[in-house]
Amino acid sequence: MGSLTMIIVMHQDATADEVTLVVDRLKTLGADVQVTTEAGQAVVSGTTESLLAEQGPWKDLPGVERVVPAIPGGRKVGRQFKSIDTVVRVGDVDIGDGSMTVVAGPCAVESRDQLLTTALAVKAAGAQILRGDAFKPRTSTYSFQGLGKPALEMLAEARDVTGLPFVAEVLDPRDVEMVSNYADMVRIGTRNMSNQALLREVGKQSKPVQLKRGRAATVEEWIDAGEYVSAAGNGQIVMVERGIRGFDPVARNTLDLTAVAIVKMQTHLPVMVDPSHASGRSDLVAPLARAAVAAGADGLMLDVHPDPSVALVDGPQALLPSEFAQLMTEVAAIAAALKRSV
C-alpha cells in the first residue's frame, strides 16, 4: 500500500559511475536497491514508500535508457518491462522461440538401467530435454526421497549417451550449487514456489530455471515468485503449469490452461505444461498435452517410465515409451496446424 517499485534500465554503454549515481539517488529515498544485468544492460530496481520516487527526473540522469512506468506490481519479468519474448537456452535447446519443446523422462531416477532405458526411448521419440529427479519432495517423511547425488551422476551419464541436456529439481538452498553443477537446468517444484530462500539461491546461479506453479498459487503470486528469481540475478526462467488444487477428486489436480494464456500475456517468459503431474492419471495425459499445445504453451514436460507398475514415485501418471511416441505425433500435428515446429 503506497510502496512503489522503480525499475530503471541503463544504456548498454552506461558507466559504472552512472549506475552508482542512480543507485545512490534511489537509496536516498529509502529504497533497498538491487542491480542486475539483463541482455547486457544494467537494471537498477528498488522499492520505496516515498512519493518523490515517481516524480524524480530519472530519465534525465546520465546513462539512463528508460524507466519502467512505476505502477504498483511493476516487475522485470513483466511485458511492461520487456515486450519481446525471452528465449531460454538449455544446453543447445531453445525454449520460447516459437517451437514446441518436449521434456520427458522418469519422475524419479530409480536406477541406472531405468534411467538409460527411458532416456534412449524419449530421445528416439523426439524429446529434446531429459527429466529425472535426484531429490523428491514427498508428502510423507517415510516415502522414498530420491537417490541424491548418485542420481545426478547417472543423469550426467544419460546426457553423455543421448546428447540430451537434463533438468533436475532442487529442494534445499544448500544443494543448489551441487545440482547446478551437474544439471543443464534446475527446477523449483510446486511445494517450494513460495520458498523464497530457495528462489533467491537459484536466482544467484547461472543455469536456467524451471519454476513450477504452487498448487494453490494465483497467477499473480506465481509471477511474483518468478520475480524473486529474476531480481536475484537470473532471468532465464521457464514457467511450468502443473495443475491447481480443486474440489473434484476425479483427478489429482485441475490443469489450468487459462493461466498459460495469461502468463504469456503478462510476462515475456516461456511457459510449459506438465500434464502428468496435473492429472496423476496416464489416461488423461494425451488429451491434456494436446490441449496445452493448442492453448499456446511453449513446451510440455511428461513422465515416461519403462514399467509404470513398478515405479517408486507417481507410476499411475507415467506414459509407456510407446504411448509417448504416439503422443509426440499428435503434438506435432497440432503444432503444425498452428504453424509451429516441434
Interface positions, 231-290, toward a second copy (CB under 8 A): 231-232, 244-251, 254-262, 265, 278-279, 283-284, 287-288, 290
- Residue from 23, 87, 120, 291 touching a second copy (CB under 8 A): that is 291
Helices (H), the chain: 16-28, 52-55, 112-125, 149-162, 176-182, 196-204, 219-231, 257-266, 275-279, 282-295, 321-337
| Closest separation in Å from C-beta 91 to a second copy | 27
| Closest separation in Å from C-beta 270 to a second copy | 15
Contact 137, 190 (CB under 8 A): no
| Closest separation in Å from C-beta 6 to a second copy | 9
Residue placing its CB nearer to a second copy in the complex, 255 or 272: 255
| Closest separation in Å from C-beta 74 to a second copy | 8
* CA–CA gap between residue 247 and residue 48 (Å, rounded): 40
Residue placing its CB nearer to a second copy in the complex, 80 or 194: 194
- Residue from 219, 304, 318, 328 touching a second copy (CB under 8 A): that is 219
Coil, strand or helix: which one is 237?
strand
- Residue from 196, 204, 325, 326 touching a second copy (CB under 8 A): that is 196
Q: Which stretch binds a second copy (CB under 8 A): 36-44, 55-63, 158-166, 187-195?
A: 187-195
- Give the DSSP per-residue string, 117-152: HHHHHHHHHT-SEEE-BSS---SSTTS-----HHHH
Burial class (CB in 10 A: 0-12, 13-18, 19+), 322: exposed
195 touching a second copy, by CB under 8 A: yes
* CA–CA gap between residue 333 and residue 251 (Å, rounded): 27
* CA–CA gap between residue 17 and residue 99 (Å, rounded): 41
| Closest separation in Å from C-beta 134 to a second copy | 14
Binding-residue total with a second copy (CB under 8 A): 75
For residues 20-49, which are near a second copy according to CB under 8 A? 45-47
Measured CA distances, 315 to 200, 308, 324 (Å): 32, 5, 14
| Closest separation in Å from C-beta 62 to a second copy | 25
- Residue from 172, 178, 233, 320 touching a second copy (CB under 8 A): that is 172
Burial class (CB in 10 A: 0-12, 13-18, 19+), 113: exposed
Residue placing its CB nearer to a second copy in the complex, 16 or 142: 142
Residue placing its CB nearer to a second copy in the complex, 127 or 229: 229
* Buried b or exposed e, range 250-282, using 16+ CB within 10 angstroms: ebbbebbbebbebbbebbbbbbbbbbbbbbbeb
For residues 125-164, which are near a second copy according to CB under 8 A? 137-144
Residue placing its CB nearer to a second copy in the complex, 162 or 279: 279
* CA–CA gap between residue 207 and residue 184 (Å, rounded): 6
Q: Which stretch binds a second copy (CB under 8 A): 14-22, 50-58, 151-159, 171-179?
A: 171-179
* CA–CA gap between residue 2 and residue 250 (Å, rounded): 44
For residues 59-98, which are near a second copy according to CB under 8 A? 73
Q: Which stretch binds a second copy (CB under 8 A): 105-113, 125-133, 156-164, 215-223?
A: 215-223
